Copies of this chain bind each other. A is one copy, B any other.
Amino acid sequence: MTDAPTTSDALSALDELRRLEPPERAAVLSRLAPEVARELFEQLEAPLQEEVLAFLRDDQVNRLLEDLDPDDRVRLLETLPDPVGKALLARLSPRERRLTRKLLAFPEESAGRIMSPEYLPLPLNLGVDEALALIRQEGHRAGTVQVLPVLDEEDRLIGLAPLEALVLAEPEQTVGEVMRSPVPRVGPETDQEEVARLIQAADLLALPVVDDEGYLLGLITVDDAMDVVQQEQEEDFARAGASEPLDRPYFSIGLMHLTRARLLWLLLLGLAGALTVNVLSAFESLLEQVISLSLFIPLLIGIGGNSGAQSATTVIRAMAVGDIDQVRPIRVIFRETRVGLLLGTAVAAIAYLPVALLFDSALAATVSLTLIAICTLATLVGSGMPLLARRIGIDPAVVSAPVVTTLVDASGLVVYFLIARAVMGL
């Protein structure tokens, strides 16, 4: 057996398209059949979509936008500068404009923005065969018919009927008999990350969005959830590496843009890092007396930084998957700090002998005690910062490894010199 015989034409077309220069990308799309063009356009990253629009004629733009699903249209409009978005919105048909406006009314990153408001509701007592006939007749207008919402007489959501279950059912059964109920549901303001987690954890094909009286507002489908998972994790990962996520393919980003995107982080962290110069200046006379103290600075802050990064990463992931939602933050911090104490003790025990042999026992004691203190401190900061960030409403991933490391650098040095003073009696 050989590896991956042939990947699809459709997908390589998409990859091809992403790599083209903006004018050619638009030219290629406008030459394709409208159906095909729309499907490819939908799968492009929003900034690339924006570029395409700039190179199309007005009537081509109108047709493309008119044909998009409302939730995909919202995702595109979100990235456009305000006046451009408003102008495009005004050119939509009244029906599509109304649908789009409704979604845009919900907060950014909320469930309301990614739901499809075009669904086909089924009444509870309809026969399965009649339901299938209804779907055949009306389903074209719905955003999805893979899952159909079942509503009561007052239009409140009772359950979901997967298309699969309708097809597999006996013809004499009713919608009510094959539907799933109760089903997971969210409010329109629920965070998209929470939505994706629900869909993934329960292997759902679609998640209904309801208002607080139980009326159905729309459905979120699994492909939208996958996009959210991808995007959120890219964000977390980028921030763990002191950068912002790229919103388009690597080679389509200019060198200056790539540099600017990183410079801010580097300067902010550098500014915080300048604290270490102050700390060292304050202890300069100690350094002059015992020059060998300076030899261990990078090693000690390196180990502190790594154990802080470990804590931050663990806590951020545990938060992201909802593992510690129902736990008081102090319990997490206490737990992490105990891990830090254990780690520090282990590393200190291993470090003592080589330092004592190569240098002297006072320095070895200083280094070992510092390792214990710095690992404990690092896990405290590493677990505390993301939890604090969430408490004050910031994305915890913003204060991940690089921020934690920088904070531990300065405070770790203070600890090191205080221990050195005490141990060496200076």
Contact = CB atoms under 8 A, between A and B. Distances in A.
Interface in A169-222: 169, 171, 182-190, 194, 198-203, 205, 210-212, 214, 222
B11 A339 contact: no
Interface in A1-38: 1-11, 14-15
A227 B203 CA distance: 9
Contact of A307 (B237, B266, B280, B292): B266
A229 B200 CA distance: 11
Given A14-B201, A201-B14, A146 B132 contact: no
Contact of A139 (B168, B242, B259): B168
A301 interface: yes
A227 B95 CA distance: 37
Nearest to A410: B298
A424 to B, nearest CB: 17
A310 interface: yes
Given A145-B167, A287-B291, A406 B302 contact: yes
B184 A258 contact: no
A347 interface: yes
B189 A1 contact: yes
Interface in A238-256: 238, 240-243, 245-246, 249-251, 255-256
A240 B42 CA distance: 32
Nearest to A371: B270
Contacts of A350: 267
Number of copies: 2
Contacts of A313: 237-238, 240-243
A47 interface: no
Interface stretch (A51-59, A83-91, A318-326, A387-395): A318-326
Contacts of A307: 242, 262, 266
Contact of A200 (B15, B226, B250): B226
Interface in A308-359: 309-310, 312-314, 316-318, 321-324, 327, 332, 335, 338-339, 342-343, 346-347, 350-351
Query: Per DSSP, are chain A's interface residues mostly helix, strand or loop, or mixed?
Result: helix
A201 B198 CA distance: 21
Interface residues of A, number: 136
A140 interface: yes
Interface in A252-306: 255-256, 258-259, 262-263, 265-267, 269-270, 273-274, 276-277, 280-281, 284, 287-288, 291-292, 294-299, 301-303, 305-306
Given A7-B184, A187-B3, A284 B276 contact: no
A168 B314 contact: no
B298 A276 contact: yes
Contacts of A10: 182-184, 202
Given A6-B185, A306-B269, A339 B259 contact: yes
Interface of A: 1-11, 14-15, 42-43, 132, 135-136, 139-140, 144-146, 163-164, 167-169, 171, 182-190, 194, 198-203, 205, 210-212, 214, 222-223, 225-227, 229-230, 233-234, 236-238, 240-243, 245-246, 249-251, 255-256, 258-259, 262-263, 265-267, 269-270, 273-274, 276-277, 280-281, 284, 287-288, 291-292, 294-299, 301-303, 305-307, 309-310, 312-314, 316-318, 321-324, 327, 332, 335, 338-339, 342-343, 346-347, 350-351, 400-402, 405-406, 409-410, 413
27 contacts: A3-B190, A5-B186, A10-B202, A11-B201, A135-B167, A139-B164, A139-B167, A146-B205, A222-B223, A226-B229, A229-B233, A236-B237, A237-B316, A243-B313, A249-B318, A255-B342, A258-B314, A266-B343, A267-B347, A269-B306, A273-B302, A277-B299, A287-B294, A297-B298, A298-B409, A302-B409, A309-B401
The 6 tightest CB contacts between A and B, nearest first, are A241-B313, A8-B184, A276-B298, A250-B318, A233-B233, A273-B302
